[in-house]
Structure 1
Amino acid sequence: MQQPPISDYGFLSDCRSGALVGRDGSVDWWCPSRFDSSSVFARLLDPDGGHWRLAPVAVGSAGHRVQRSYQPDTLVLRTVHHTPEGSVAVTDALAVEPGARAHQIGLHSPAVLLRVVEGLSGRVPMVLDFRPRPEYGLITPYLRERADGAVLAGAGPVELVLRCDGLRLHTDGDRVRHTFEIAEGQVLGFDLAYAAAYGDPPAELDPVPTVADTVQAWQAFRESHRYEGRYPELVRRSATVLTGLTYARSGAVTAAATTSLPELIGGDRNYDYRFSWLRDFAMTLRALWVAACPTESSRLFAWATRSIGRIGAGPVPVLFGLEGERDVSEHRCPHLAGYAGSGPVRIGNEAWRQRQLDVPGEVVSAIWRLRDYLGDEFDTELRETVVGLTEQVAATWQMPDRGIWEPRDSERHYLSSKVLCWVAMDKAVRLAPRLGERADARRWAAIRDEIRSTVLREGFHEGRGIYTGAFGSPELDAATLYLPVVGFLPADDPRMRATIAAVERELGGGDGLIRRWDGDPAGFLLCSFWLVECLVLAGERDRAARLFEQVTGHANDLGLLSEQIDPGSGAHLGNTPQALSHIGLVNAAWRLTEPTSD
């Protein structure tokens, strides 16, 4: 089976879990319990991983044409299929709890996938192909026909019920295959409900009114959020995607909805991104704040401080599970071939064990951003968090680490890590009046200044005349673009200007895409948006706007961005939808709106 391009997939969310549905009408990814739980459909990663296709028989033929869009300000997807026999619309959604609105979505998600088929013209032959494979394809469930015409799929820890009020469904071995016709004006609703095998039974919802209720719930989010900057439609779409990547029960934002989609087809840099990184924390808070989502910002902040807990002698964890779990140890799924044969498929992420010295700076920076919201006097827990993180930076900033790109080789003295150590000390000094007796602003300021002088001396490569990725290395790294973004150096500083120019020249391809390092196979979208911000800060606002529009043009037809873009073909690569890409878009749009803000 030739797998669809990553950009072919639309994203569904109930703020508990995520599903991916292709242009061909096949749901190829769904982890119904929560974003980082086991899948019941994983054809995204293997032809035998399970799927649920609902589409015209003519899909893929010369006479078949697809138009699709989200219902405005929602993650409810409407796909219109035009065939020689007529036209039909399929509306897909992950159901919200009945009556939920805005920030209530996902708190008590029923874990039901809804699909509504509507005949628009003619009589269109349709096919339903339902082949669940729980536990990432390890389990082939028993399928049983129920007296009410539904099908029950059960095995191991999973129970699924597939229903359609207008059709009696029949099993065919390990799948349900059913053909039917949909006529103009006819509507059929399907619902697939998940439940744990030994818990409450799967929910039963009426698909048509529940889809309408889900649309209203999503639209209530955007009605309560007002963004008044440039590129409002792009920002609203990205804000909706970020909301969809939020695990509502805790407020954590998952880095992406998928695992193991490759950075390079046939490569092995395939990682599980269904967790929440503290590195993303400050950037995410900034994006949510810009997009006028203060409730989400405060919930994410509360999740982060709770997950960090009391600061000890060891490094602050890099990432957490969505409810604050620390141990997300990695294992491989050798039974899955990987997307387009790009193995291995990984579950869990071993980066949780790494030392990454930038993490405290991201957290303290986020606290500084929310300082007015948090009050003139911090509570004991918040004071202990800031002081603990600051003291950890004071004790460890001279150590090597793995850097923000999380390589799995040896540690180095990465420039971006040192700069974020400076950020931590700088913001802690400014926050000192709110931190009580343990604040040691004078000593912190001295360490801050020492870090700065070290970075300026050791991070600049005299032979190349630019700031490079690690002390003593001639290798360029797009992470140097972060220096002006966090306020370490002005973008128009001559050395910084030379660095920005080198990144454009050596890591760019003239298409707006910036690779992270020489040899990186594809453009990393966050780096492209950092370049937009740098150009604004350097006074090149018009060129920055052109670059922004060029980069955002790489989104798929639904406005979704993956992690990377192949500079030759324009194909999406890496996990999708990628939170950092949408965060970068929002922050760059705001920088273009208020170039002197922050």
Structure 2
Amino acid sequence: MSSRPIGDYALLSDCRSAALVSTEGSVDWLCLPRFDSPAVFGRLLDEAAGHWTIRPCGTSRVTRRYVPESLVLETTFHTPSGTVMLLDALAMGHRERGHALGASSPGVLLRRITCTSGSVAVETSFAPRPEFGLVHPVLSAVRGGLSAYGGAQRLVLSTPLPLRIDGSTARGETVLKAGKRIEFALSSLPAWGDAEPDPWPGGRINHRLNDTVKGWRSWTRIHQGYQGPWRDEVAHSGRVLQGLSFTPTGAIVAAATTSLPESIGADRNWDYRYTWVRDASFTLQALSTSACEKEKATYFGFLAQAAATQLERGANLQVIYGIGGERDLSERTLPHLSGWRGSTPVRTGNDAWRQHQLDVYGELLDAAHQTHPRTEWFAPPTRSFLLQAAETAARRWREPDQGIWELRGPSRHFLYSKLMCWVALDRAIDLAPALGATPTQVTAWRHTRQHIRRAIEDEGWNPHLGAFTQAFGSSELDASALMLPLVGFLPGDDPRIRTTVAAIASKLTDARGHVRRYLRDDFASEEGAFLLCTFWLAHALALIDEVPRAREVFETALSCANEVGLLAEEISPTTGEALGNYPQAFSHIGLINAARAIGHAERARRNS
């Protein structure tokens, strides 16, 4: 059973896959060659599922940071005899710069430990366990390192350090004096090919580490359009979103991990290494704030292509896709893994792909609305697809569904789902010329949009609570009602919005100031507060012109980031520690969008 705090980890990315590195210099999560591949190192979910540690022998004090303007990790170990610095990165393609970042990443993990003062004994423990720990590979010495055979992959570890092999684990120690360093590289090959190992000499590793830093910095420097409050945090969150992007398609994973629980010991452990249509409009707003215009277009193109043919044959629009556009994400459990802090089952795949969620039509059309110039027509396939999405939202908005939180129970008439059907028609009306919509279609959309508005205002409003609620006729609050002003359904100065925001702030906020999604089922009392919802509250407070309070809530959420600026999905209401899959794209998206909204509100105040 793994018990290390989730917030103890830092993210590495090559815009194709991800690794998580602990403060002890241990890579406890690495999936190759894609985010959704089986883990090579999986100690995050079970102590026996593999790791690769490089660290000083004995005790040390640790500080760490990302090399400025990058996702290259620098961990410094302070020991009684001296100091060593460990540099970790997933290599980018040679001389990849700017928008090309990740286009030809080789899938190689680079590590270098350098003694910066004194003399320090260091050790490494290399225990690959491919396929989530099912494979214990055969290790053998090769020129310039060692090779690991087993399963579908052949791993090659390049290093000049002599290693002792003990079964499927290799270990080594040495003493480094000031100015001395050791380089490591881990690459993979198909297990059944004729390719020979290609050891990476130290010079090549150093060159690619430096080149990877330059690649990240070049990406950062063309994405510096945001000038509002929390500029550094917004820029870093933009890099995290880029780090969670799968460059070959433009997809963005919800998180780098699977099965980190929403509630410790419960069974709400899902695989987040896929892309959700639900996230689309929020993601595109965040990318726009971070000046990621090319990334916006690529991401929308991926969503449109992945979903395009489903509406043509009358199927439900899927809510989640694989990062290569895959549709069948059937769930299975991995019973040999004990889970993080005993939270089982550990799952791969995600059966949310089978759910019916009406909000996806609004999120797609809002995404199109954010990315497409009004004066240009969409390409014919995309135009046809978006027209079908608008027509489907108009036809099906009265149906019940599973809602934004993908509740695995009976379908209901969730307010958020109706709201996003309203968004679908609202954006389609504005896009009508680009869509080639007929006057008859636009008239029908306007009529249905008004019907949806009346239904939300009449059936979604609870006069006894003085708030919009989770579902029609419900007395349960839900943080997703904060989206009413965020998508422009009602203005911030509407009294119903003000009282809804006040009710959520009062009833769904825990003692630490973080906002829960809802309080309606047996799990909700145990699960953590959602950082996205906390940022939504800050965003909504800015829209209702409660700017000092918005700043306070924003800072409360921001304080949940670890020392390298990463945010989890949830925060435990009792301990304040990170919960859920990590790092969570939605949390960083919420940060970016709330910061922008607060900045706009502050400028409006100054100019009034």
What CA distance in whole angstroms lies between the structure 2 residues aligned with 1:214 and 1:162? 19
Q: What's the counterpart of residue 330 of structure 1?
A: 331
Q: What's the counterpart of residue 576 of structure 1?
A: 582
What CA distance in whole angstroms lies between the structure 2 residues aligned with 1:487 and 1:125? 60
What CA distance in whole angstroms lies between the structure 2 residues aligned with 1:288 and 1:122? 45
Contact map agreement 1:394 1:444 (CA 8 A) in 2: yes
Query: CA offset at residue 420 of structure 1?
Result: 0.4
What CA distance in whole angstroms lies between the structure 2 residues aligned with 1:170 and 1:548? 50
Relative to structure 1, the CA distance from residue 429 to residue 400 in structure 2 (aligned partners, 3 Å threshold; closer, same or farther) is same
Q: What's the counterpart of residue 164 of structure 1?
A: 159
Pick from 128, 131, 141 the counterpart of residue 127 of structure 2. Answer: 131
TM-score (ref. length: structure 1): 0.96
What CA distance in whole angstroms lies between the structure 2 residues aligned with 1:34 and 1:438? 43
Matching of residue 94 in structure 1 with residue 114 in structure 2: no
Query: CA offset at residue 196 of structure 1?
Result: 2.0
What CA distance in whole angstroms lies between the structure 2 residues aligned with 1:448 and 1:458? 15
Q: What's the counterpart of residue 33 of structure 1?
A: 33
Contact map agreement 1:387 1:438 (CA 8 A) in 2: no
Letter in 2 for 1:288: L
Relative to structure 1, the CA distance from residue 441 to residue 2 in structure 2 (aligned partners, 3 Å threshold; closer, same or farther) is closer
**1:89-488 matches, cutoff 5 A:** 89-146=85-142, 148-165=143-160, 167-199=161-193, 200=195, 204-205=199-200, 206-226=204-224, 227-310=226-309, 311-312=311-312, 313-372=314-373, 375-438=375-438, 440-488=441-489
What CA distance in whole angstroms lies between the structure 2 residues aligned with 1:325 and 1:394? 27
Contact map agreement 2:22 2:28 (CA 8 A) in 1: yes
Q: Secondary structure of the equivalent of 1:237?
A: helix
What CA distance in whole angstroms lies between the structure 2 residues aligned with 1:265 and 1:238? 26
Letter in 2 for 1:110: P
Q: Secondary structure of the equivalent of 1:595?
A: helix
The more displaced of 466-475 and 579-588 is: 466-475
User: Any idea what the Cα deviations from partners look like across 1:515-557, whole Å, max 9, x if unmatched?
Assistant: 0011352110111111111111101112211221221011000
What CA distance in whole angstroms lies between the structure 2 residues aligned with 1:134 and 1:384? 43
**1:67-86 matches, cutoff 5 A:** 67-86=63-82
Relative to structure 1, the CA distance from residue 380 to residue 78 in structure 2 (aligned partners, 3 Å threshold; closer, same or farther) is same
Identity %: 45
What CA distance in whole angstroms lies between the structure 1 residues aligned with 2:381 and 2:144? 55
Q: Secondary structure of the equivalent of 1:338?
A: coil
User: Any idea what the Cα deviations from partners look like across 1:121-166, whole Å, max 9, x if unmatched?
Assistant: 22211111011000111111111112x241100112111011113x
Q: Name stretches of at least 5 consecutive residues in structure 2 with no aligned partner.
A: none
What CA distance in whole angstroms lies between the structure 1 residues aligned with 2:388 and 2:319? 16
Matching of residue 563 in structure 1 with residue 569 in structure 2: yes
Q: Secondary structure of the equivalent of 1:122?
A: strand
Runs of 4 or more, structure 1, over 6 Å off, are none
Relative to structure 1, the CA distance from residue 149 to residue 369 in structure 2 (aligned partners, 3 Å threshold; closer, same or farther) is closer
The size of the alignment, in residue pairs, is 591
Matching of residue 546 in structure 1 with residue 549 in structure 2: no
Query: CA offset at residue 201 of structure 1?
Result: 5.0
Contact map agreement 1:68 1:558 (CA 8 A) in 2: yes
User: Any idea what the Cα deviations from partners look like across 1:68-119, whole Å, max 9, x if unmatched?
Assistant: 0000111100000011221111000001111211222222211111110100
Q: What's the counterpart of residue 42 of structure 1?
A: 42
Contact map agreement 2:2 2:342 (CA 8 A) in 1: no
Q: Secondary structure of the equivalent of 1:87?
A: strand
What CA distance in whole angstroms lies between the structure 1 residues aligned with 2:198 and 2:145? 13
What CA distance in whole angstroms lies between the structure 2 residues aligned with 1:561 and 1:177? 33
Contact map agreement 1:145 1:170 (CA 8 A) in 2: no
Query: CA offset at residue 433 of structure 1?
Result: 2.0
Query: CA offset at residue 224 of structure 1?
Result: 1.1
Contact map agreement 1:49 1:133 (CA 8 A) in 2: yes
Matching of residue 496 in structure 1 with residue 497 in structure 2: yes
Q: Secondary structure of the equivalent of 2:119?
A: strand
Q: Name stretches of at least 5 consecutive residues in structure 1 with no aligned partner.
A: none
Letter in 1 for 2:491: P
User: Any idea what the Cα deviations from partners look like across 1:473-525, whole Å, max 9, x if unmatched?
Assistant: 11111111111101111233222222111111111024331000113521101
Relative to structure 1, the CA distance from residue 388 to residue 438 in structure 2 (aligned partners, 3 Å threshold; closer, same or farther) is farther
What CA distance in whole angstroms lies between the structure 2 residues aligned with 1:319 and 1:202? 37
The more displaced of 173-182 and 324-333 is: 173-182
Q: Secondary structure of the equivalent of 1:482?
A: helix
What CA distance in whole angstroms lies between the structure 1 residues aligned with 2:490 and 2:436? 30
Contact map agreement 1:591 1:597 (CA 8 A) in 2: no
Relative to structure 1, the CA distance from residue 255 to residue 201 in structure 2 (aligned partners, 3 Å threshold; closer, same or farther) is farther
What CA distance in whole angstroms lies between the structure 1 residues aligned with 2:364 and 2:601? 23
Contact map agreement 1:112 1:203 (CA 8 A) in 2: no
Contact map agreement 1:357 1:418 (CA 8 A) in 2: yes
Query: CA offset at residue 198 of structure 1?
Result: 3.1
User: Any idea what the Cα deviations from partners look like across 1:421-444, whole Å, max 9, x if unmatched?
Assistant: 000011111111222255600001
Q: CA RMSD in A?
A: 1.6
Q: Secondary structure of the equivalent of 1:317?
A: coil
